[in-house]
């Protein structure tokens, strides 16, 4: 089990001024922030990131949303990071998310759901690579 996962504070999180509040929830839950940046995704970059959803009916809207403003990708570290972080963010649809989860607390809708979390160790490694170069990760953390 890997100890790393990728979070993204999505454009609605940034627009609502919730960057600080959401990062506090994450660190209070026991995660360590090991790399972080603010980026505005291009359609190509967002499309590559969400490649697995490209046949889904919501794909076009998802790309519009993810490119609608800056977002904040974050590399997080904790034991069993992927599973623990999915628990903290809650279900994709905020109406179905458990009480106290980040999506339950802050998200508007199944699309505008504030935050991303990797769904497997393999995808976490790929997604970290989508936003952070090997050189950057080495310079930041030595990995």
Active-site annotation, residues: 116
Least separation, in Å, of the C-beta of 138 and Mg ion?
27
Q: Which is nearer to ligand IDP, 129 or 143 (CB)?
A: 129
- Determine if 36 is a binding residue for ligand IDP (CB under 6 A): no
Whole-angstrom distance, CA of residue 35 vs CA of residue 109: 28
Instruction: Return left, alpha or beta for 142; rule: phi > 0 is left, psi -120 to 50 is alpha, else beta.
Output: left
How many residues bind Mg ion (CB under 5 A)? The answer is 1
Whole-angstrom distance, CA of residue 90 vs CA of residue 99: 9
Least separation, in Å, of the C-beta of 2 and ligand IDP?
17
The region of 2-10, 27-35, 57-65, 113-121 touching Mg ion under the rule CB under 5 A is 113-121
Residues 64-123, interacting with ligand IDP (CB under 6 A): 92, 110-111, 113, 116, 119
Q: Which is nearer to ligand IDP, 32 or 54 (CB)?
A: 54
Q: Which is nearer to ligand IDP, 110 or 140 (CB)?
A: 110
Contact residues for Mg ion, defined by CB under 5 A: 119
Contact residues for ligand IDP, defined by CB under 6 A: 53, 58, 62, 92, 110-111, 113, 116, 119
């Amino acid at each position: 089990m890997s100890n790393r996962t990728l979070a993204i504070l999505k454009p609605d999180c940034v627009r609502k001024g919730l960057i600080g509040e959401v990062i506090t929830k994450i660190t209070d839950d026991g995660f360590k922030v090991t790399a972080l940046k603010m980026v505005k995704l291009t359609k190509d970059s967002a499309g590559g990131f969400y490649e697995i959803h490209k046949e889904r009916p919501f794909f076009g809207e998802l790309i519009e949303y993810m490119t609608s403003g800056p977002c904040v990708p974050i590399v997080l570290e904790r034991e069993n990071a992927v599973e623990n972080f999915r628990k903290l963010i809650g279900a994709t649809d905020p109406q179905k998310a458990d009480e106290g989860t980040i999506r339950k607390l802050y998200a508007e809708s199944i699309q505008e759901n504030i935050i991303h979390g990797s769904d497997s160790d393999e995808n976490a490694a790929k997604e970290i690579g989508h936003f952070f170069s090997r050189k950057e990760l080495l310079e930041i953390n030595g990995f």
